[in-house]
């Protein structure tokens, strides 16, 4: 078989493929999706089984190293991550330079890029020890940065990580604990968040992961590559959709507009309005992650003692959309973002933190994909072609 770059060189042909709808840029052994059947597997394991039985760090290990860890390997991995959670004190001051109303996604990407400056002597992408160390650093520090972005936005003091706690509990305490008060972990909330994070851990060559791989293909280190991935995730057509869904639901509720009328406006593409949290480039069937999130939404809200009419509104929207020809013909179903926001809200996260939670979820996938790309001898610097449509050659006339 001839790969596409050899084909292009040999024949002079270029493929124009807006949005890479048909073009594979890599081979990958990490995640399998069958969009027609609604199947998602990490390293061969069905997402449903992992979400039910495993932990965030166990799945992170699976994605990064290719097999499930043994109990000893997992304990060692967890222990190493706990020892790396502290941020350099100077980096903590970095947050003071940013406006208090900065979007936490901007804070997250800026602070992740800044992490690179602390480890520049130890960030050679081709040095396995550096790669290993920075994998641990990223997993340990990104949740702390995320929690600080949250604390900053509400004007509260940053807490130090509590390394007696596991990954998710530590993260919850960093977000919701306050100085000089004991923070009680709510096990229902902890397990619900862990499940949501597992569902987000990888999703093959989506926009942010492709960005991580593209930046990594230039020889940039993990911090720089992942910071770029966070920026790609920020957009409302990608990870930013979870925030946009909740805003959309809130707008419908507050405007008093009927759900039917809103759906009509979506179908007529009035002002470009979309049903956020619906549709997917790959899934032309129900997103298996959305199915799991929807199944648990009622249960989690009930266990947290929250009754949110926005959940009913979301279900109503889904029901109307799924029985409508516009959505059926285009095979538009709820994606993972449609129901997550309602759960994050019930947990107490502000809307602007939703995409940050997605980023923490996706981090293991970014790390695994970056490592796969960097160690693949076939990886080349990513460099798409273009079809030039500008002016033909002309002579500079001088200023008239
Ligand atoms: N609401 C209304 N119409 C939609 C929606 C939607 N959410 N999504 C797609 N369509 C329509 C398009 O307008 C287009 O209609 P047309 O044939 O009349 O022109 C048709 O369905 C095909 O859609 P495309 O935009 O070509 O599909 P694409 O694969 O390029 O986009 C995307 C996928 C970006 C996810 C899109 O469905 C969308 O914008 N959804 C809303 C945002 C969202 O939820 N993003 C999260 C994605 S999942 C994730 O990142 C975790």
Using only the alpha carbons of the chain, give its radius of gyration.
Answer: 22
pLDDT score at 26: 96
Distance CA 307, CA 399 (A): 68
Mean pLDDT of the chain: 95
Distance from the Cα of residue 295 to its chain's centroid: 21
pLDDT tens-digit readout, 37-51: 999 999 999 999 999
Please tell me the residue having the least CA distance from ligand 1 atom 22.
Answer: 330
CA distances from 338 to 74, 202, 239, 267, 349 (A): 32, 18, 11, 18, 16
**What residue owns the CA closest to ligand 1's atom 37?**
279
Respond yes or no: is residue 337 known to be catalytic. yes
What per-residue confidence (pLDDT) applies to 5? 65
What average pLDDT does the segment 67-82 reach?
98
What is the pLDDT at residue 334?
A: 94
**Most ligand 1 atoms within 8 A of CB, residue of 278, 279, 330, 344 to mutate:** 279
DSSP alpha helix (H) spans, the chain: 4-11, 47-53, 56-65, 71-83, 89-94, 104-118, 128-153, 167-176, 187-200, 207-216, 222-234, 241-255, 259-267, 288-303, 309-322, 325-329, 337-347, 354-375
Residues 334-351 have a mean pLDDT of 94
Q: What confidence tier does 343 reach under pLDDT thresholds 50, 70, 90?
A: very high
Distance from the CA of 146 to the center of ligand 1, in angstroms? 28
**Are the C-beta atoms of residues 202 and 31 closer than 8 Å to each other?**
yes
Residue 3 among the catalytic residues:
no
**Dist. CA 31–CA 372, nearest whole Å:** 12
| pLDDT exceeds cutoff 70 at 245 | yes
Asked whether the predicted pLDDT for residue 1 surpasses 60, the reply is no
pLDDT score recorded for residue 7:
67
> Residue 84: pLDDT above 70?
yes
What's the gap in Å between 278 CA and the centre of ligand 1?
7
Q: Which atom of ligand 1 is nearest to the CA of 203?
A: 51
Active-site choice (78, 200, 280, 287): 280
Q: Edge-to-edge strand order for the sheet containing 31-34?
A: 31-34, 39-42, 45-46
Model confidence over 103-127: pLDDT tens digits? 999 999 999 999 999 999 999 999 9
Query: From the CA of 279, how far away is ligand 1's center (Å)?
Result: 5
């Amino acid at each position: 078989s001839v790969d596409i770059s050899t084909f292009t060189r040999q024949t002079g042909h270029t493929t124009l493929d807006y949005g890479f709808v048909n073009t594979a840029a890599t081979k990958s052994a990490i995640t399998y999706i069958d969009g027609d059947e609604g199947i998602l597997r990490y390293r061969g394991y069905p997402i449903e089984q992992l979400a039910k039985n495993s932990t965030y760090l166990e799945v992170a290990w699976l994605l990064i190293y290719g097999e499930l860890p043994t109990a000893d390997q997992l304990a060692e991995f967890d222990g190493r991550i706990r020892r790396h959670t502290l941020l350099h004190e100077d980096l903590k001051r970095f947050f003071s330079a940013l406006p208090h109303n900065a979007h936490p996604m901007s804070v997250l990407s800026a602070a992740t890029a800044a992490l690179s400056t602390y480890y520049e002597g130890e960030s050679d992408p081709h040095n396995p020890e550096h790669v290993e160390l920075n994998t641990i650093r990223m997993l340990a520090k990104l949740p702390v940065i995320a929690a600080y972005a949250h604390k900053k936005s509400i004007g509260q003091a940053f807490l130090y990580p509590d390394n007696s706690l596991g990954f998710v509990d530590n993260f919850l305490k960093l977000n919701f604990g306050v100085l000089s008060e004991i923070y009680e972990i709510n096990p229902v909330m902890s397990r619900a968040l862990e499940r949501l994070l597992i569902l987000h851990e990888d999703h093959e060559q989506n926009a942010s992961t492709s960005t991580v791989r593209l930046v990594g293909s230039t020889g940039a280190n993990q911090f720089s590559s992942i910071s770029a991935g966070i920026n790609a995730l920020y957009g409302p057509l990608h990870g930013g959709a979870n925030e946009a869904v909740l805003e959309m639901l809130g707008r419908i509720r507050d405007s008093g507009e009927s759900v039917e009328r809103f759906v009509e406006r979506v179908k007529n593409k009035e002002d470009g309005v979309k049903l956020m949290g619906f549709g997917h480039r790959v899934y032309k069937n129900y997103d298996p992650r959305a199915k799991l999130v929807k199944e648990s939404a009622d249960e989690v809200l009930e266990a947290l003692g929250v009754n949110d009419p926005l959940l009913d509104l979301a279900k109503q929207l889904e029901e109307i959309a799924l029985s409508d020809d516009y959505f059926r013909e285009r095979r538009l179903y709820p994606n993972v973002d449609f129901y997550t926001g309602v759960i994050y809200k019930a947990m107490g996260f502000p809307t602007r933190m939703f995409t940050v939670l997605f980023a923490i979820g996706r981090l293991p996938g970014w790390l695994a994909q970056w490592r796969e790309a960097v160690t693949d001898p076939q990886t080349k610097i990513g460099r798409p072609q273009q079809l030039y449509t500008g002016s033909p050659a002309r002579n500079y006339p001088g200023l008239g």
